[in-house]
C-alpha cells in the first residue's frame, strides 16, 4: 500500500446513521465543474442511476476513480448511469476538473455547494455509492467493494476484491431481482460539510488549533510531502475538521503505535490529552476561525531532503522503472556502483521515492567488495542494511561522533516494493548520503536485528507468537528500534534481559500497523552491558477477523511479498568493543584445548552409540557434545531422498523448531548446499555462511554463522552429519577432529532411521 493511501486509511470513518435504503429521491440539480447544470431528470431513460460521492484529495476515491469509469463504460449500454458528487467544502471546481482529467473520467461530477445533496442522501464518506432503481428509490448504499478498507489499527489493501457489492447490486436490479446485500459499510474520508461556527467558542483555529497543527501535522500535510492534503491554512483545515477529530481521538493520527508506558522516544508523535481535548472542543463548536491577529508565526519546515543537502545522491538505476497499473509486482532489485574509491563514513542517509504514489518501500543494502548477494525471501541474506524508506519511517541522521562504515568498492543493492494504484506509472528512486570525516567518528553505528525466518503461522490462528533473540557480545548502546512484520502483524515487543537476569521491556507495540513503519529513536542511547540478550516476540493474526488478511486458510511462512510474512526486530546500535569476530564461546574452547586435549567420557560415548535410536536421544547426544564444544548450536544428519534432501535427525535451538530445518522439511536438491556435500562426500568447513551457495544455506545463515560437515555412511547409505554455530569461524582444527570422531561413532553400526517424529520426539530442545 502506498504512503498516500495508508495515511488516509488511518483516518477512515464509518457510517452510523439510519439507513437511507428505500428512500425515494424525487430529483436534484447541480452544476458540474464546467458550470453546466445537471439534473437527475436528464437520465430518466436510464434503468439505474448510481450516485457516488467523491473527494478530490481522498486517496481511496483516487484509487476507485478508474474502476468507476470502467464500470460506467461496462454498463452504459445496459442503461446504467454513474453520477459523481463532490460535497467537500474544501474542494474547488478547478480541483474537480483536474481530478476528472487525471483519472480519465467521462461520467459527470457535480459540485454540491452547501452539501445539500450529501444531506439528502445521508452521505457520510468518500467514496460512498447509492444505487437508485428505475423509480429512483435507493436500493443499495455503501462501499464499491472490499479491496480497500479500515481495520482497528489502520487501513488495509488486498491484492484484489473478494466481494463486489456495487456490481452485484447493479446486476440484480438489471435482472429485476431484489438486491441481496442492500448495505455494506463504506470506509473512506469524511465529507467536509459546511458548518455554522459558534461565535462565542472559547477555542478557535487562530488561537489554538493552528499552533497544534503546525507542531504535529503540517510537516507531512503540506505540498510535496506524504500527507495527501494540506493543513496549512484555515480554508484547508475546516473541511477536514470532523475527520481530524475522529482520528485524533482514536489515536490513529499522528501515527504512533508504541505503548506510552515503555520507552522514552525523541520522535514521540503523540498528542497530549490536552491537545486532543482542545481539538475536540473546536470541532464541536463548528470549527470557528477566530481573530486572524491570533495566528502564530508561520513555521519554517525543511524543504526537500530532510537530512539536508546530500553530499552524494545515488539513484537506483540510470533508467526509470515502469510500474504496471494493476496486479502484483514482484520485488525489484537494482545494483548500482556509487563509485566509492575510499572507505566512507556515513552520518546521514535518506531514501527518496521518485514516485510516492506507487512506492511502498525502499531498502538499500551494502554489498562489500568480493561478496556476492545470497538471495533469500525478503532480500539478500548476507548483506547489511543501510537504510529503508516506508510510510512513517524517518530518515537517519546519527548523533555527532557516530557513523555507518562502508568499505571502498562497495555497491548498493536497492530493494524496491511497488504497489499498483490503477494507473501505469514510472519511478526512479534514490538515496542521499551525508558523510563524516573519519577523524570525527568516535564509534561505528551498526544496523542489526533479532529475526526469525523459520516460523510457520497456522491457518486461522489469531494470536500466533514467533520469538527471536540477539546476544550482545560486548557493551553496546541502543540508538533506535524498528519492528517489521507484514499485514498479519498484530503486536511486537522488545525485551532486554541483563546478565544478572533482570529484564526490561524496551518497546511494546500492542497494535502494529504495517502501513506505518515507525522507527523509535531513544531520547538518550540505551546502555546495554555485554552478555545481555535482546528478546523479541511478534504476534500474528491469521484469522478471518484480520481484514487485511489475504487468506486465513493458508499456512504462512517467511517471504518478501505482503501476503507472506516477516519477523524482524531491527535496531541501530554501537558496540563499545570489537567482538574479536564475535567468537566468545569459540575462544573459550580454544583456551580450554590449549591446556588439555578434548576427549569424550564414558557417558558421551554411550550417548553417541544410541544417538540414532530416536530424536530424543539424538538431542541428548547433541547437548552432551555442546558440553565440550560450547560454540555448537545445531547438529543434524541429512541424506538424499530422490531429488530432495531430507533431514533424518535434528537437534536445534528453539528458534529453529519449525518445519523449516526440521525433520519434516525437504528441500529440492537443485537448490541445496547440503546436496552438494552429499554428492561429493568430503569434509567441508564454512568459516562464514555469508556467501555459501544454496537456498538452505541462505536460510540458516540468518541465524547460524559457520558450519562443519562430515560425510559418513549409515548401513552403506551416504549421509552428512552437519554441525552449526551462531559464531563465525567456530570450528578450529581441534573441534573438527573431535566432532568428526563423534560423528563416526554415532553412525557406526547404526541402522538408518525408518520414520520421522514420534510422540516421544515432541520434546522441545531446551537449548
On whether residue 53 sits in a domain, the answer given is yes
Give the C-alpha separation, 723 to 713, whole Å.
16
**Pair 279, 312 in one domain:** no
Q: Which three cell numbers mark 755?
A: 520414520
**Pair 209, 353 in one domain:** no
Global pTM reads 0.71
Give the C-alpha separation, 277 to 249, whole Å.
8
Burial of 729 (0-12, 13-18, 19+ CB in 10 A): middle
Q: What is residue 653's predicted lDDT score, i.e. its pLDDT?
A: 67
Q: What is residue 11's predicted lDDT score, i.e. its pLDDT?
A: 42
Q: Can you list the alpha helix ranges (DSSP code H) found in 255-371?
A: 273-284
Long-range CB pairs of 41-48 (<8 Å, 24+ gap) are: 43/81, 43/83, 45/79, 46/79, 46/80, 46/81, 47/78, 47/79, 47/80, 47/133, 47/134, 47/173, 47/174, 48/75, 48/79, 48/80, 48/81, 48/131, 48/132, 48/133, 48/134, 48/170, 48/173, 48/174
Who's near 366: CB < 8 A, 6+ residues apart?
Answer: 383, 384, 385, 386, 406, 410, 411, 412, 413
**Pair 706, 642 in one domain:** yes
**Pair 122, 243 in one domain:** no
Q: Encode pLDDT of 193-202 as tens digits.
A: 998 899 999 9
H/E element, 589 = helix 584-595
Q: Encode pLDDT of 585-623 as tens digits.
A: 898 899 989 888 888 888 888 889 989 988 888 988 998
**Pair 217, 331 in one domain:** no
Q: Which CATH number belongs to the domain containing residue 128 in this structure?
A: 3.40.30.10
**Pair 598, 740 in one domain:** yes
Q: How many domains does the chain have?
A: 5
pLDDT at 757 over 60: no
**Pair 228, 356 in one domain:** no
Q: State the average pLDDT over residues 641-659.
A: 75
Examine the fold and report which residue of 441, 472, 496 is the final residue of a domain before the chain moves on. Answer: 441
More confident residue, 422 or 7: 422
Q: Which three cell numbers mark 112?
A: 454540491
Domain containing 370 equals 304-441
Give the C-alpha separation, 375 to 385, whole Å.
14
Q: Encode pLDDT of 28-71 as tens digits.
A: 999 998 899 999 999 999 999 999 999 998 988 988 999 999 99
**Pair 318, 431 in one domain:** yes
Q: Encode pLDDT of 245-276 as tens digits.
A: 888 888 878 888 899 999 999 988 889 999 99
Percentage of residues of the chain with pLDDT beyond 70: 91
By DSSP bridging, strand 29-32 and strand 37-39 are antiparallel
Q: State the average pLDDT over residues 438-456.
A: 87
Examine the fold and report which residue of 262, 294, 326 is the final residue of a domain before the chain moves on. Answer: 294
Amino acid at each position: 500500500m502506498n504512503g498516500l493511501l495508508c495515511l488516509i486509511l488511518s483516518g477512515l470513518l464509518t457510517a452510523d446513521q439510519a439507513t437511507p435504503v428505500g428512500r425515494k429521491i424525487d430529483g436534484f440539480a447541480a452544476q458540474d465543474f464546467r458550470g453546466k447544470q445537471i439534473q437527475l431528470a436528464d437520465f430518466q431513460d436510464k434503468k439505474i442511476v448510481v450516485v457516488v460521492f467523491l473527494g478530490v484529495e481522498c486517496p481511496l476515491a483516487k484509487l476507485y476513480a478508474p474502476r468507476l469509469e470502467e464500470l460506467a463504460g461496462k454498463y452504459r449500454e445496459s442503461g446504467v448511469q454513474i453520477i459523481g458528487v463532490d460535497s467537500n467544502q474544501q474542494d474547488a471546481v478547478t480541483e474537480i476538473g483536474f481530478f476528472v482529467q487525471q483519472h480519465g473520467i467521462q461520467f459527470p461530477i457535480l459540485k454540491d455547494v452547501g452539501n445539500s445533496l450529501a444531506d439528502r442522501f445521508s452521505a457520510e464518506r468518500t467514496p460512498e455509492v447509492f444505487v437508485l432503481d428505475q423509480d429512483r428509490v435507493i436500493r443499495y448504499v455503501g462501499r464499491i467493494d472490499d479491496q480497500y478498507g479500515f481495520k482497528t489499527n489502520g487501513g488495509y489493501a488486498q491484492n484484489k476484491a473478494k466481494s463486489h457489492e456495487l456490481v452485484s447490486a447493479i446486476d440484480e436490479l438489471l435482472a429485476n431481482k431484489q438486491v441481496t446485500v442492500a448495505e455494506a459499510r463504506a470506509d473512506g474520508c469524511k465529507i467536509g460539510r459546511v458548518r455554522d461556527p459558534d461565535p462565542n467558542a472559547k477555542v478557535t483555529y487562530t488561537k489554538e488549533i493552528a499552533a497544534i497543527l503546525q507542531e504535529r501535522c503540517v510537516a507531512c500535510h503540506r505540498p510535496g510531502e506524504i500527507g495527501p492534503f494540506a493543513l496549512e491554512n484555515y480554508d484547508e483545515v475546516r473541511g477536514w475538521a470532523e475527520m481530524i477529530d475522529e482520528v485524533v481521538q482514536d489515536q490513529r493520527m499522528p501515527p504512533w503505535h508504541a505503548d506510552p508506558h515503555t520507552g522514552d522516544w525523541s520522535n514521540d508523535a503523540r498528542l497530549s490529552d490536552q491537545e486532543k481535548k482542545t481539538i475536540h472542543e473546536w470541532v464541536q463548536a463548528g470549527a470557528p476561525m477566530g481573530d486572524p491577529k491570533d495566528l502564530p508565526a508561520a513555521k519554517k519546515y525543511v524543504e526537500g531532503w530532510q537530512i539536508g543537502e546530500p553530499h552524494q545522491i545515488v539513484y537506483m538505476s540510470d533508467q526509470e522503472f515502469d510500474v504496471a497499473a494493476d496486479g502484483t509486482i514482484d520485488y525489484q532489485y537494482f545494483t548500482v556502483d556509487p563509485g566509492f574509491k575510499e572507505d566512507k563514513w556515513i552520518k546521514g542517509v535518506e531514501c527518496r521515492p521518485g514516485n510516492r504514489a506507487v512506492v511502498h518501500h525502499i531498502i538499500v543494502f551494502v554489498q562489500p567488495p568480493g561478496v556476492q548477494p545470497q538471495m533469500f525471501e525478503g532480500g539478500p541474506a548476507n548483506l547489511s542494511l543501510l537504510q529503508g524508506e516506508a510510510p512513517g519511517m524517518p530518515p537517519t541522521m546519527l548523533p555527532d561522533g557516530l557513523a555507518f562504515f562502508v568499505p571502498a568498492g562497495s555497491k548498493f543493492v536497492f530493494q524496491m516494493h511497488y504497489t499498483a494504484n490503477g494507473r501505469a506509472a514510472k519511478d526512479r528512486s534514490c538515496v542521499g548520503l551525508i558523510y563524516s570525516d573519519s577523524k570525527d567518528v568516535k564509534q561505528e553505528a551498526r544496523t542489526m536485528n533479532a529475526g526469525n525466518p523459520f516460523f510457520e503461522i497456522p491457518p486461522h490462528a489469531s494470536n500466533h507468537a514467533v520469538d527471536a533473540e540477539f546476544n550482545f557480545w560486548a557493551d553496546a548502546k541502543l540508538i533506535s528500534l524498528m519492528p517489521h512484520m507484514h499485514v498479519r502483524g498484530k503486536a511486537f515487543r522488545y525485551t532486554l534481559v541483563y546478565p544478572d537476569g533482570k529484564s526490561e521491556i524496551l518497546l511494546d507495540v500492542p497494535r502494529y500497523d504495517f502501513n506505518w513503519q515507525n522507527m523509535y529513536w531513544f531520547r538518550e542511547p540505551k546502555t546495554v552491558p555485554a552478555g545481555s540478550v535482546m528478546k523479541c516476540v511478534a504476534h500474528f493474526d491469521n484469522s478471518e477477523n484480520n481484514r487485511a488478511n489475504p487468506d486465513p486458510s493458508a499456512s504462512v511462512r517467511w517471504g518478501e511479498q505482503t501476503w507472506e510474512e516477516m519477523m524482524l526486530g531491527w535496531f541501530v546500535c554501537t558496540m563499545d568493543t570489537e567482538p574479536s569476530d564475535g567468537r566468545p564461546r569459540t575462544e573459550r574452547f580454544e583456551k580450554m584445548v590449549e591446556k588439555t586435549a578434548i576427549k569424550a567420557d564414558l557417558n558421551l560415548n554411550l550417548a553417541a552409540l544410541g544417538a540414532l535410536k530416536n530424536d530424543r536421544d539424538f538431542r541428548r547426544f547433541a547437548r552432551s557434545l555442546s558440553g565440550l564444544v560450547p560454540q555448537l548450536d545445531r547438529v543434524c544428519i541429512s541424506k538424499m531422498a530422490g531429488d530432495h534432501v531430507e533431514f533424518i535427525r535434528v537437534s536445534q535451538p528453539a528458534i529453529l523448531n519449525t518445519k523449516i530445518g526440521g525433520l519434516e522439511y525437504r528441500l529440492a536438491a537443485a537448490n541445496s548446499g547440503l546436496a552438494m556435500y552429499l554428492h561429493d562426500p568430503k569434509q567441508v568447513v564454512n568459516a562464514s555462511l555469508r556467501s555459501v551457495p544454496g537456498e538452505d544455506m541462505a536460510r540458516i545463515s540468518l541465524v547460524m554463522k559457520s558450519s562443519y560437515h562430515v560425510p559418513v555412511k549409515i548401513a552403506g547409505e551416504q549421509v552428512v552429519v552437519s554441525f552449526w554455530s551462531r559464531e563465525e569461524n567456530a570450528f578450529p582444527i581441534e573441534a573438527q577432529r573431535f566432532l568428526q570422531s563423534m560423528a563416526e561413532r554415532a553412525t557406526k553400526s547404526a541402522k538408518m532411521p525408518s520414520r520421522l517424529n514420534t510422540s516421544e520426539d515432541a520434546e522441545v530442545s531446551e537449548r
